[in-house]
A and B are shown apart, each in its own frame.
Chain A
Amino acid sequence: EVQLLESGGGLVQPGGSLRLSCAASGFTFSIYALSWVRQAPGKGLEWVSGISDDGGTTLYGDSVKGRFTISRDNSKKTLYLQMNSLRAEDTAVYYCANKVPGAHPFDNWGQGTLVTVSS
Chain B
Amino acid sequence: EIVLTQSPGTLSLSPGEIATLSCRASQSVRSSSLAWYQQKPGQALRLLIYGASRRATGIPDRFSGSGSGTDFTLTISRLEPEDFAVYYCQQYDNSPWTFGQGTKVEIK
Contacts and interface: CB of A to CB of B under 8 A. Distances in A.
Interface of A: 4, 35, 44-47, 50, 59, 61-62, 95, 97, 99, 103-111
A106 B88 contact: no
A62 B96 CA distance: 9
A106 B93 contact: no
A109 B92 contact: no
Contacts of A62: 96
A50 B95 contact: yes
Contacts, number: 55
B96 A47 contact: yes
Interface in B30-63: 31, 33, 35, 37, 42-47, 50, 56
Interface size class for chain B?
20 to 34
B35 A44 contact: no
A44 to B, nearest CB: 5
Contact of B50 (A46, A47, A61, A104): A104
A35 B99 CA distance: 14
